[in-house]
């Protein structure tokens, strides 16, 4: 995986905002409309102090009762008109934010689907869930609220400053003297709260990971009676999340007293100095009242600055986590010259193939295999010998570090991944099923398959009779991850799902390990028709799969130490295969015979 450095973004929000701007390009017309609404709404918000000044100086001081009605109506009309533009601003801002977040979620989901198996080997499900849900929700709050608030508050502060200077430069300068204190406070607050919210996001991700892990592993937790232990672990993670939130809140809580101090200081200065000017007759009482109204108006944008910094800091931390994933490049991807592989006959070659998950620790070493079309190859070996890894290289779940793999003479690194995987079917030992109907699960690889085709594959996989016995038949929902089915039923459904795609190459990763003896007897006969004229690789678990194979590969410590058919390998008196056969495979076969 190639990651861009998240540290580069942590020093400034500018790179983050620029990247977000790429998603806003398609909405520039709506954004322009929001800015116009913000500008008009802010301008209307600055009108009431003008009306107050004019009303006091020209109506109240002149005892003009009719004029007071005009001022009152003008203030109500201004408020109503401002409300209209506030609605436009809020509604369109939310529309834009939702559209941008939709695009980011889709891109993030698509990118996650493109990342290699190695990424998921290192990642935790809970953390990925947090990035695609809560992190994008945090970013949404920033886009829908902060983006318009920032422009509105800046316009308000600047507008008030200009009006004050225009009315009386002396009082205006008093206001300007407060700005450095305001800017300094914002800087200090932002520099302290932003790192805290990064920690909050990380702690939340860990909490989500643990909850997800507990739900998935609930059966094991209950089996070993470890509920109390898991509760303590959850309490610890939850308390750490609470503690970091409290620390962040402590930093945030310091902002409001600082805001009230600045507003109080501004008001005191205006009352002290402005009052003297009124008494001396250098400014009117209405102007003094207007100044105080503008000072009071400053409370909202300055107070909201704390909220905006909070949301901005949370959004920055969330966006960094989102972009960290988007910046990851899949290790396995199409080469620039990749072509679609044509319909293959099934000749497979491994030439001097080596592979390692970690640098310097080879899992496979100098593997050489040649398989003719239609042959069945059984892969045998002790746990950890590299059997599954060997076969996972064929559909490019991982790429070999050295050597090459060819199908019908085509180097698989120079064909498109999609076209390659369409021709390779895999039945894994650990089966995953979706929380949908049985029919939808079987037809997952071919949604357009007819019911007759689905039933045919279900019969081959020896699952049709069971499905027909259910009240809803093929429309029966199977529950999340297939929890309503036994292990053997899940594997047979997975077998039917793969068979429906009619792959030229078939990989069976211990496909009958969870199948009962009676079903295995039926599947043994069915599998003969499944693998006929199809190149098949089987990670051997049962004796019959080994005996019927055209070739047997014995792996030990990532190397092929023996190869041949069943009879040839048994002739080697001191051979490793003969030892495995006598100690493991033969015993399993005898146990199977006793069970029947």
- DSSP for 120-155, written as a single string: HHH--HHHHHHHHTHHHHHHHHIIIIIHHHHHHHHH
Can you tell me the distance from the alpha carbon of 353 to that of 365, in angstroms, rounded to the nearest whole number? 7
523 domain-assigned: no
The whole-number pLDDT of residue 585 equals: 57
497 domain-assigned: no
Q: How many structural domains are present in the chain? A: 2
Q: Per residue in 226-252, pLDDT tens?
A: 778 888 888 888 888 888 888 877 777
Domain identity same for 270 and 304: yes
Domain identity same for 230 and 308: yes
Three-class SS state of 328: coil
Domain identity same for 390 and 243: no
Can you tell me the distance from the alpha carbon of 523 to that of 541, in angstroms, rounded to the nearest whole number? 14
Domain that residue 375 falls in:
346-423+529-596
Domain identity same for 60 and 166: yes
Domain identity same for 299 and 381: no
What is the average pLDDT across 203-222? 75
Can you tell me the distance from the alpha carbon of 229 to that of 242, in angstroms, rounded to the nearest whole number? 20
Percentage above 90 pLDDT, the chain:
13
Lowest pLDDT segment from 53-67, 128-142, 325-339, 514-528 = 514-528
Domain closes at, from 296, 326, 356: 326
Three-class SS state of 463: coil
Which residues, at least 6 apart from 127, have a Cβ–Cβ distance to it below 8 Å? 205, 206, 208, 209
Lowest pLDDT segment from 95-99, 219-223, 553-557 = 219-223
The whole-number pLDDT of residue 5 equals: 41
The whole-number pLDDT of residue 542 equals: 65
What is the average pLDDT across 348-374? 90
Q: What is the CATH number of the domain that holds 363?
A: 3.40.50.300
Domain identity same for 102 and 247: yes
Domain identity same for 161 and 236: yes
Domain identity same for 301 and 385: no
Domain identity same for 271 and 414: no
Q: What is the CATH number of the domain that holds 192?
A: 1.20.1560.10
What's the chain's length in residues? 596
Higher pLDDT, 382 or 79: 79
- For the stretch 470-478, contacts whose Cβ atoms lie closer than 8 Å and that sit 24 or more positions apart, written own/partner, are 470/438, 472/437, 473/438, 474/437, 474/438, 474/439, 474/442, 475/437, 475/438, 475/439, 476/437, 476/438, 477/435, 477/436, 477/437, 478/433, 478/435, 478/436, 478/437, 478/438, 478/441
505 domain-assigned: no
Can you tell me the distance from the alpha carbon of 293 to that of 57, in angstroms, rounded to the nearest whole number? 15
Does residue 10 register a pLDDT over 50? no
What is the average pLDDT across 567-593? 70
Can you tell me the distance from the alpha carbon of 357 to that of 363, in angstroms, rounded to the nearest whole number? 7
Domain identity same for 113 and 234: yes
What is the average pLDDT across 576-589? 68
Does residue 446 register a pLDDT over 60? yes
Confidence band for 268, pLDDT divided at 50, 70 and 90: confident
Does residue 8 register a pLDDT over 50? no
Confidence band for 451, pLDDT divided at 50, 70 and 90: very high
What is the average pLDDT across 17-45? 85
322 domain-assigned: yes
The whole-number pLDDT of residue 128 equals: 78
Q: Per residue in 320-355, pLDDT tens?
A: 888 888 888 888 888 888 899 888 888 999 999 999
Higher pLDDT, 511 or 384: 384
The whole-number pLDDT of residue 529 equals: 63
Average pLDDT along the chain:
81
Q: Number of C-alpha atoms within 13 angstroms, CB side, residue 390?
A: 34
Does residue 224 register a pLDDT over 80? no
Can you tell me the distance from the alpha carbon of 519 to that of 509, in angstroms, rounded to the nearest whole number? 17
Percentage above 70 pLDDT, the chain:
87
Evaluated on CA atoms 247, 249, 250, 254, the torsion sign reads positive
- For the stretch 103-110, contacts whose Cβ atoms lie closer than 8 Å and that sit 24 or more positions apart, written own/partner, are 103/23, 104/23, 104/136, 104/139, 104/322, 105/132, 105/136, 107/326, 108/132, 108/136, 108/322, 108/325, 108/326
Domain identity same for 260 and 375: no
Does residue 370 register a pLDDT over 90? yes
């Amino acid at each position: 995986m190639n990651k861009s450095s998240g540290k580069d973004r942590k020093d400034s929000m500018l790179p983050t905002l620029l990247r977000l701007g790429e998603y806003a390009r398609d909405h520039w017309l709506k954004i322009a409309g929001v800015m116009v609404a913000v500008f008009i709404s802010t301008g209307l918000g600055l009108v009431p102090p003008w009306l107050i000044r004019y009303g006091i100086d020209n109506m109240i001081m002149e005892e003009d009762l009719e004029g007071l009605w005009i001022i009152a109506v003008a203030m109500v009309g201004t408020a109503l008109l401002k409300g209209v533009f506030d609605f436009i601003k809020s509604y369109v801002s939310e529309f834009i934010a939702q559209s941008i977040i939709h695009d980011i979620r889709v891109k993030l989901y698509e990118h996650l689907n493109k990342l290699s198996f190695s990424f998921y080997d290192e990642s935790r499900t809970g953390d990925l869930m947090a990035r695609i849900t809560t992190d994008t929700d945090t970013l949404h709050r920033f886009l829908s609220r902060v983006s318009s608030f920032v422009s509105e508050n800046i316009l308000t502060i600047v507008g008030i400053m200009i009006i004050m200077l225009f009315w009386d430069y002396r009082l205006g300068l008093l206001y300007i003297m407060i700005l450095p204190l305001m800017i300094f406070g914002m800087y200090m607050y932002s520099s302290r709260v932003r790192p805290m919210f990064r920690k909050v996001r990380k702690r939340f991700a860990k909490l989500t990971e643990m909850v997800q892990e507990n739900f998935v592993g609930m059966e094991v937790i209950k089996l070993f009676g470890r509920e109390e232990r898991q509760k303590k672990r959850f309490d610890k993670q939850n308390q750490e999340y609470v503690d970091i939130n409290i620390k962040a809140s402590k930093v945030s809580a310091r902002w409001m007293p600082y805001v009230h101090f600045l507003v109080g200081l501004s008001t005191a200065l205006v009352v002290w100095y402005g009052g003297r000017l009124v008494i001396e007759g250098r400014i009117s009482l209405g102007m003094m009242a207007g100044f105080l109204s503008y000072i009071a108006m400053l409370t909202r944008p300055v107070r909201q600055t704390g909220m905006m910094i909070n949301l901005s800091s949370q959004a920055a931390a969330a966006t960094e986590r989102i972009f960290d994933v988007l910046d990851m490049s899949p290790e396995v991807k199409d080469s620039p010259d990749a072509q679609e592989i044509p319909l293959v006959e099934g000749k497979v070659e491994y030439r001097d193939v080596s592979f390692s998950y970690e640098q310097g620790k080879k899992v496979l070493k100098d593997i050489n295999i040649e398989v003719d079309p239609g042959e069945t190859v059984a892969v045998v070996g002790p746990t950890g010998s590299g059997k599954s890894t060997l076969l996972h290289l064929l559909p490019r779940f991982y790429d070999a570090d050295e050597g090459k793999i060819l199908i019908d003479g085509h180097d698989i690194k120079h064909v498109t991944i999609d076209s390659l995987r369409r021709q390779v079917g895999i039945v894994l030992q650990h089966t995953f099923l979706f929380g949908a109907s049985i029919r939808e699960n079987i037809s997952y690889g071919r949604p357009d398959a007819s019911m007759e085709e689905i039933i045919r594959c279900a019969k081959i996989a020896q699952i049709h009779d069971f499905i027909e016995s259910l009240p809803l038949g093929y429309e029966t929902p199977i529950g999340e991850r297939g929890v309503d089915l036994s292990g053997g039923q899940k594997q047979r459904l997975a077998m039917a799902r793969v068979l429906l795609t009619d792959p030229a190459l078939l990989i069976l990763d211990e496909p009958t390990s969870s199948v009962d003896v009676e079903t295995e007897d039926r599947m043994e006969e069915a599998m003969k028709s499944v693998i006929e004229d199809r190149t098949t690789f089987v990670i051997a678990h049962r004796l019959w799969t080994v005996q019927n194979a055209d070739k047997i590969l014995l792996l030990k410590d990532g190397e092929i130490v023996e190869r041949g058919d069943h009879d040839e390998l048994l002739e080697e008196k001191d051979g490793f295969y003969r030892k495995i056969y006598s100690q493991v495979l033969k015993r399993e076969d005898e146990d199977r015979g006793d069970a029947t």
